[in-house]
């Protein structure tokens, strides 16, 4: 009854969903279980369908498809596909496999393709789905009923949740998943779609006719959709490599690199779920060390290219990771944001950044993203943040009905507010963050204690120290930091949160950020981030301090994580007073 009410409120009829065994008998059972025009919707009109099997507890194998003839398509999956594909052989032979058939009075070919694509997006974000089988992505442009897609999909998902809550969790839970947010099945904006098509054309041309080492540089600020573009490219390159009509593409010769442990984990999980080779997801140093042949690789995609090292470090003996990657690949696609360079090891001078951009522009390979896709904030709120971070001024905080920006004068109250958001089904994924102004090292303290962020009466451990409950350790190990249950009791840093979203972020601005003479100033002596505050040796041998650029970048990363809200507490008395005054 609740579903009917929601559907009526939306002015749309209810979807029809029926579940039967995935077998020859199953379709006959539909006719016995469903009466009237509901049978017609399922058997004679376009439908979306899901075939799934629960291989073991908390582990599903799923196929999502759409068809104009569910009876014919099911026979094909049961009789023909198992002869060619192992995944279908498993599903056809398993006695536990189920078939969910979804119909709707407003379904047409374009809408079912879009619903199928959206279903793949959601399934890629469901933790219990270990294998997701489909060989395409089907984003559609505008069509007659395209404005109804989201409402119809939500009504379908609610019905599916009633069939199996583990396979179809509450919608908000799925959307909070890092896998969902980095999924290749997101509907691309015009800006993203244009960039993807341009990049694919450039790659195809370079593989047909050698053109030297090609650098395609995609620039955009935090939240501009760079990761979704890269994920979509990675998946499409794999698809083309599987297609015999595109012989120039080799799935084994396309790599995705990222210099961020948490993001590597996300991409590996996506690749495993979609049946791609997880060995093609790597950190840059491992790739460079393993691929010694010049231009031996076709395509390398680099996420968070601003994290690449521009000097030697530990196991990396080179001088510039991007140069070394370019030497090993015919085409390198790098997404880059100069405002997110955080470490002296990845520092680039202004001239070096201009040289990098000029190199890409000369080849016609420079792409710039201008849209802000992460934060549901007004332009005025985004301008306020930019003024704080880049112009170092505290302007009056604008009213914004769509974004919850709040200044706190008590760190305990801030933490309690973030805990309440995290426990709310409505608000979901929320965590504490802080500037790197309290000690932290990779090795635990000798006294057995934890490295902590302590402000007044609030004292919380830094990230990556609390252990998950014993029965959840295997599961939590696979999740990004913010998604792990126990991390609501920790404080995240740029090193764990960069590249990820939160619904609400609670940011403690530490003593390295002060307010003096009407301006925000950065004090490297109050920072514990030696990667930002110690000197960097430039190419000409000169040793310089680069904290004036890196510390504002750290603040930029932290203040741009929250999708729906940002809560701030400033340790510096003058800065806190200025922020509170700006709020009133």
Span 420-467, pLDDT tens digits: 999 987 888 999 999 999 999 888 888 889 999 999 999 999 999 999
pLDDT, position 299: 95
What is the rounded average pLDDT for all residues in the chain? 91
pLDDT, position 296: 81
Span 293-338, pLDDT tens digits: 766 899 999 999 999 999 988 789 899 999 999 999 999 999 999 9
- Per DSSP, the residues of 426-461 read TT--EEEEE-S-S---SSPPTTS---EEEETTEEEE
- Token look-up 């409950």 returns 469
pLDDT above 90 for 212 = no
The CATH class for the domain spanning 190-368 reads alpha beta
Q: Distance between CA atoms of 468 and 480, rounded to whole angstroms?
A: 13
pLDDT above 80 for 135 = no
pLDDT above 60 for 4 = no
Looking at residues 28-44, what average pLDDT do you find?
83
Q: Distance between CA atoms of 520 and 369, rounded to whole angstroms?
A: 28
Looking at residues 472-482, what average pLDDT do you find?
85
pLDDT, position 138: 64
The closest of 504, 509, 508, 510 to 418, measured between CA atoms, is: 504
pLDDT, position 139: 66
- Token look-up 């079912």 returns 112
Buried b (16+ CB within 10 A) or exposed e, 253-292: bbbbbbbbebbbbbbbbbbbbbebeeebbbbbbebbeebe
Q: Distance between CA atoms of 496 and 491, rounded to whole angstroms?
A: 10
Q: Which residues pair with 52 in a beta bridge?
A: 62, 98
CA Rg value for the chain:
25
pLDDT above 50 for 3 = no
pLDDT, position 208: 82
Q: Where are the domains of the chain?
A: 2-175, 190-368, 379-583
Q: Lowest mean pLDDT: which of 29-38, 193-202, 272-281, 492-501? A: 29-38
Span 368-412, pLDDT tens digits: 998 877 899 999 999 999 999 999 999 999 999 999 999 999 999
Span 155-177, pLDDT tens digits: 999 999 999 999 999 999 999 99
> Residue 281 is encoded by which pair of tokens?
């997801």
Q: Distance between CA atoms of 404 and 23, rounded to whole angstroms?
A: 51
pLDDT, position 8: 45
Q: Which residues pair with 63 in a beta bridge?
A: 51, 133
Q: Lowest mean pLDDT: which of 102-106, 368-372, 454-458, 486-490? A: 368-372
* pTM of the full structure: 0.91
> Residue 368 is encoded by which pair of tokens?
């710039």
Span 188-199, pLDDT tens digits: 999 999 999 999
pLDDT above 80 for 497 = yes
pLDDT above 50 for 86 = yes
pLDDT, position 295: 65
Looking at residues 491-513, what average pLDDT do you find?
96
Buried b (16+ CB within 10 A) or exposed e, 141-174: eeeeeeebbeebbbbbbbbbbeebeebbbeeeeb
Q: Distance between CA atoms of 23 and 92, rounded to whole angstroms?
A: 7
- Token look-up 């099945």 returns 185
């Amino acid at each position: 009854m609740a579903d009917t009410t929601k559907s009526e409120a939306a002015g749309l009829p209810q979807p029809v969903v029926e579940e039967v065994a995935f077998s020859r008998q199953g379709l006959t059972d539909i006719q016995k279980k469903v009466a009237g025009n509901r049978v017609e919707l399922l058997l004679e009109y376009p439908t979306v369908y899901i075939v799934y099997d629960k291989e073991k507890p908390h582990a599903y194998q799923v196929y999502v498809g759409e068809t104009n003839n569910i009876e014919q398509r099911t026979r094909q999956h049961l009789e023909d596909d198992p002869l060619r594909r192992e995944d279908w052989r498993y599903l056809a032979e398993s006695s536990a496999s189920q078939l969910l058939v979804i119909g709707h009075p407003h379904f047409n070919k374009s809408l079912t393709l879009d619903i199928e694509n959206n279903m793949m997006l959601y399934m890629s974000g469901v933790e219990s789905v270990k294998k997701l089988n489909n060989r395409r992505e089907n984003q559609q442009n505008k069509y007659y009923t395209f404005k109804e897609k989201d409402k119809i999909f939500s009504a379908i998902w609610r019905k599916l949740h009633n069939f199996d809550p583990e396979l179809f969790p509450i919608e908000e839970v799925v959307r909070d998943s890092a896998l969902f947010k980095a999924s290749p099945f997101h509907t691309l904006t015009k800006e993203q779609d244009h960039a993807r098509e341009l990049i694919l054309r450039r790659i195809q041309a370079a593989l047909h006719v050698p053109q030297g080492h090609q650098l395609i540089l995609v620039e955009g600020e935090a939240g501009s959709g760079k990761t979704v573009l890269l994920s979509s490219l990675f998946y499409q390159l794999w698809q083309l490599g599987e297609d015999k009509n595109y012989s120039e593409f080799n799935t084994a010769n396309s790599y995705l690199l990222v210099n961020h442990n948490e993001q590597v984990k996300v991409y590996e999980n996506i690749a495993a779920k979609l049946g791609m080779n997880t060995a093609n997801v790597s950190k840059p140093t491992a790739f460079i060390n393993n691929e010694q042949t010049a231009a031996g690789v076709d395509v390398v995609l680099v996420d968070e290219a601003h994290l690449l090292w521009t000097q030697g470090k530990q196991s990396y003996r080179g001088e510039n990771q991007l140069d070394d990657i370019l030497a090993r690949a015919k085409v390198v696609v790098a997404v880059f944001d100069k405002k997110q360079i955080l470490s002296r090891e990845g520092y680039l001078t202004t001239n070096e950044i201009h040289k990098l951009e000029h190199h890409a522009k000369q080849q016609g390979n420079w792409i710039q993203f201008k849209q802000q896709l992460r934060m549901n904030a007004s332009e005025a709120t985004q301008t306020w943040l930019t003024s704080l971070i880049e112009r170092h001024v505290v302007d009056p905080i604008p009213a914004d009905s769509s974004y919850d920006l709040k200044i706190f004068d008590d760190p305990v109250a801030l933490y309690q507010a973030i805990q309440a958001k995290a426990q709310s089904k409505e608000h979901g994924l929320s965590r504490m963050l802080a500037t790197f102004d309290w000690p932290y090292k990779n090795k635990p303290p000798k006294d057995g204690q934890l490295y902590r962020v302590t402000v007044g009466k609030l004292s919380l451990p830094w990230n990556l120290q609390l252990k998950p409950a014993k029965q959840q350790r295997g599961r939590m190990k696979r999740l990004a930091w913010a998604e792990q249950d126990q991390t609501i009791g920790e404080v995240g840093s740029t090193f764990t949160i960069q590249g990820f979203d939160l619904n609400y972020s609670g940011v403690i601005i530490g003593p390295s950020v002060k307010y003096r003479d009407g301006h925000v100033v950065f004090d490297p002596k109050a920072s514990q981030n030696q990667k930002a505050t110690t000197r960097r040796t430039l190419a000409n041998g000169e040793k310089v301090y680069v904290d004036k650029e890196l510390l504002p970048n750290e603040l930029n990363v932290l203040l741009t994580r929250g999708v729906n809200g940002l809560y701030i507490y400033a340790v510096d008395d003058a800065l806190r007073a200025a922020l509170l005054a700006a709020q009133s």
